[in-house]
Amino acid sequence: MPAAPDPQNLDELVTPALLVDQSGFRHNLTTMSAAKPGRTLRPHVKAFKSTDVARQLTQAGHGGLCCATIREIEGLVAAGVGDDLLLANEVLDARRLGALVDAGANITVAVDSTETIEAAAAGGVKRALIDVNVGLPRCGCAPSDAERLADTARTAGLEVRGVMGYEGHLMAVPDRAKQKRKVDESMALLLEAHAAVGGELVSAGGTGTFDLNDAATEIQAGSYLFMDTHYAKIDLPFVQCLSVLATVISVNRSGGWAVLDAGLKAFGMDHGDPTIHDGEVLFLSDEHTTWAPSDLTAVSIGDRVRIWPAHVDPTIAKHGVMWVHDGATIVDRWAVDLPWW
């Protein structure tokens, strides 16, 4: 049986469907590329998990890409996208990465302990960044331990390219003056480690601090491409362009609510409920969003409604394709083809 043709407009989509507004995406891509051109930006693939999107970033001059999982690295290598791939995460089994290095891929891995250094070397990875804790209670060594780990890595045969640190706890501080002070404090720790470690890279930052982080030689940002209601709380030059299209499947006029066919399985919820501009989202269940519209009399079963996520990264990861649209017309589809680990 021949494959069904792609839908041509939003009304033809099966919901829930992940939408990307083309003009908003282009604005975000060009705005960041102007602020952080070329190798000063290392886009984070975890935000979009798509080789189609990654290819557009490399075409914009950002050939160095940042990944969170081995699967993301594997997918980029298979697609021939990116010439300098960083796994910004610790792993204890690097053999899959080593196989890609043997085939000619340029891969660097983050390390923060003797164990992760040994795993990188045993797995066949040749290059590393020393991951330094700069305030987020997650991975990273103490700044005072960075030099010892760099020496250990070099003894194990790894090229140490520099240091990495993620000030993730500061990404959404609403007072930007306070945010700047806190970022500087975090980066002072990273620069202390870099002075001891050496190497050409100081890799840090993200969407929320891209314009405040003066210490990093490269910024690891990804969410800026799509934005979400969480990042919208701070003053950034990017626009929200990613939404989930849902259909009204039930209306309770006496109770004052409507129900949409997109629920917990369609959204990342760690930053709170998604938003509908007209009315209030009451709650989400597995397959449903219960919504109190501002004017329920204007809502009918079968209506299409756009829902705006609070966190784009895990929202995208729950879908298989992004539908790119210009108004009501679908102009492209981008596969979310880098799932799992």
**pLDDT (0 to 100) of residue 91:** 98
Report the C-alpha dihedral over residues 239, 240, 241, 243, rounded to 10 degrees. Answer: -170
**pLDDT (0 to 100) of residue 66:** 98
User: How confident is the model over 282-291, as pLDDT tens digits?
Assistant: 999 999 999 9
- Domains of the chain by start residue, with CATH: 10-16+238-335 (2.40.37.20), 22-226 (3.20.20.10)
pLDDT at 328 over 80: yes
Distance of CA 1 to the CA centre of its chain: 37
Q: Average pLDDT in the 109-121 region? A: 98
**pLDDT (0 to 100) of residue 2:** 65
Q: Average pLDDT in the 258-274 region? A: 98
Q: Please, is 184 exposed, middle or buried when counting C-beta atoms within 10 Å of its C-beta (0-12, 13-18, 19+)? A: middle
**pLDDT (0 to 100) of residue 12:** 97
The distance between the two most distant Cα atoms of the chain, rounded to a whole number of Å, is 72
pLDDT at 6 over 90: no
pTM of the model: 0.96
* High-pLDDT (> 70) share of the chain, %: 99
pLDDT at 3 over 90: no
**pLDDT (0 to 100) of residue 1:** 63
User: How confident is the model over 8-66, as pLDDT tens digits?
Assistant: 999 999 999 999 999 999 999 999 999 999 999 999 999 999 999 999 999 999 999 99
- Beta carbons within 8 Å of 218's beta carbon, 6+ residues apart: 39, 40, 41, 42, 64, 201, 202, 203, 204
User: How confident is the model over 71-82, as pLDDT tens digits?
Assistant: 999 999 999 999
Q: Are 47 and 67 in contact (CB under 8 A)?
A: no
- How does the average pLDDT of the chain come out, rounded? 97
**pLDDT (0 to 100) of residue 19:** 98
